[in-house]
Amino acid sequence: MKSLVHPGLSVRILAAGSPIDEHEDPDSAECTSSHEDPHASEYQTLCTKSRHIEAITNQEFGIECSLGPPISLNMDPKVKFYIYIDGVLATEHTFARPEVKKNGFKGEHVVTGVQEGKGRNCTERKFKFSEIKMGCQSQKQEREIEKIGTIDVYVYGENFGRQGGQTPGNANGFLQPNMMSIPEKALKGADAKSHGTILEKARKVRRSSVWRTEKKTEDYPLAMFRYTYRSMEALRQLGVIYHEVPLNPSASRTSSPGMLAPEEADAALLERLRRLEKEAKYVKSQLSSSLSANKDKGSKRIKQEDIRSEDGPRKRAKRANPAKSIDLIGDDDERMFREDSGSGPEVTKVACSQTGRNEAAQPFGQATRKMASKVAEIKDENQVPFADIMGRLLS
């Protein structure tokens, strides 16, 4: 069914400055106006927006009324919001067309309580949710409790009117803290009550603007907003909320001793993966640096991988050509050099591995340069002819 709520009109219930979550009314299709005129009844049903909200004990709240395009582009001289809480007229707020136009065709006002008095004597008593208890009441009070737990806002287009007048609202009609008891049957059943609205202590405030205006038509409002506020448990009984998601899922789960909760296990696994990733990056950088250094030195290495059988023990590949060590200096020459030089430096034997498996062995190019340097030392210290040395090396 198409809604006739005019676009641009909005009402929200606020708590601590933020909108309270709204829930669809499962019986909204059955909500019909009780107006005696069938045409007016049908219209009011179509222009009504019904929602459920959660009430938290001792929580202050406010009602935000907003007006904007497209309705504000061609609005009546005045648009007035009538706010009823628990069936009691709490206050009114009027948007004047010149002011809305000056503000970019937008208007917004938050009602936080009931105002009383004028000028410097104006006071406000803020709205607050309060839990109701079971008690015995008269038949008159039983009829009045039907409206407890509701917030109704009616929006009308009105004439120019005049500014000023009595401050709207009635603080005496609200529940008192010592009168928050209702019959037992009102706390049970399909429409179980859980909360009502009480007023805080009065404090001085600046009075909001007041206009004396008249409705263009009583039976055809621009919109009607209806909120039903209940506790979370009562909302579940009404079928508005089917289940509540816990704020801390891990707290509601039980685990065996010595076992991590799923969230803790996931966190531990994630931390382990991060460490492995860091180690992999480090190993990769070390291998890259090593390969780059070997390339610059002109060394050639052959990487041999281990051979593993699926079921057998670990095996290593056999070398096709075993490593051979070449003694560049004979035993006789070494003994001669030691005798001639006395306590001079020990002659070094250089072995070049053909496989390059031993990573501690020096590359061939470096070993060759060291050999040439050692030959020069031998030549200088022992005065051995260079031709004789080369002949020995090549023999």
pLDDT in tens, 65-122: 999 999 999 999 999 999 999 999 999 999 999 999 999 999 999 999 999 988 888 9
94 shares its domain with 239: yes
210 shares its domain with 339: no
Q: Which residue, 243, 270, 299, sits at the end of a domain? A: 243
Higher-pLDDT residue of 103 and 177 is: 103
Within a domain: residue 61?
yes
The total number of structural domains in the chain stands at 2
Rounded to two decimals, the pTM is: 0.59
Could you tell me the pLDDT band of residue 24, with boundaries at 50, 70 and 90? confident
Question: DSSP E strands: which ranges in 104-200?
Answer: 107-111, 113-116, 123-131, 133-134, 150-158, 162-163, 181-182, 195-199
239 shares its domain with 343: no
347 shares its domain with 235: no
343 shares its domain with 200: no
Q: Which residue, 189, 219, 243, sits at the end of a domain? A: 243
Structural domain including 147 reads 9-243
Give the per-residue pLDDT at 158.
94
Q: What is the mean pLDDT of residues 356-382?
A: 53
Within a domain: residue 267?
no
93 shares its domain with 228: yes
Could you tell me the pLDDT band of residue 383, with boundaries at 50, 70 and 90? low
Asked which of 58-62, 73-77, 232-236, 363-367 is least confident by mean pLDDT, the reply is: 363-367
Q: What is the mean pLDDT of residues 149-168?
A: 92
DSSP 3-state of 200: coil
Which contiguous run of DSSP H or E holds residue 393? Answer: helix 386-394
91 shares its domain with 220: yes
Are 125 and 167 in contact by the 8 Å Cβ rule? The answer is: no
361 shares its domain with 216: no
84 shares its domain with 192: yes
Report which of 10, 165, 199 is spatially closest to residue 90, judged by C-alpha positions. 199
Q: What does the alpha-carbon distance between residue 165 and residue 252 come to, in Å, rounded to a whole number?
A: 57
Higher-pLDDT residue of 7 and 293 is: 7
Query: Tens digits of per-residue pLDDT, 221-273?
Result: 999 999 999 999 889 888 887 654 444 444 444 444 444 455 555 666 776 77
Work out the percent of the chain whose per-residue pLDDT is above 90: 34
Q: What is the mean pLDDT of residues 14-30?
A: 82
Within a domain: residue 21?
yes
Q: What is the mean pLDDT of residues 288-306?
A: 57
179 shares its domain with 37: yes
pLDDT surpassing 90 at residue 165: no
Q: What does the alpha-carbon distance between residue 230 and residue 178 come to, in Å, rounded to a whole number?
A: 20
Within a domain: residue 145?
yes
Residue with tokens 């070449």, as numbered in its chain: 326
Q: CB burial class (10 A; 0-12, 13-18, 19+) of residue 235?
A: buried
Q: Which residue, 195, 212, 243, sits at the end of a domain? A: 243
Within a domain: residue 278?
no
Within a domain: residue 293?
no
Within a domain: residue 342?
yes
Within a domain: residue 297?
no
Q: What does the alpha-carbon distance between residue 84 and residue 200 come to, in Å, rounded to a whole number?
A: 17
Could you tell me the pLDDT band of residue 140, with boundaries at 50, 70 and 90? very low
34 shares its domain with 162: yes
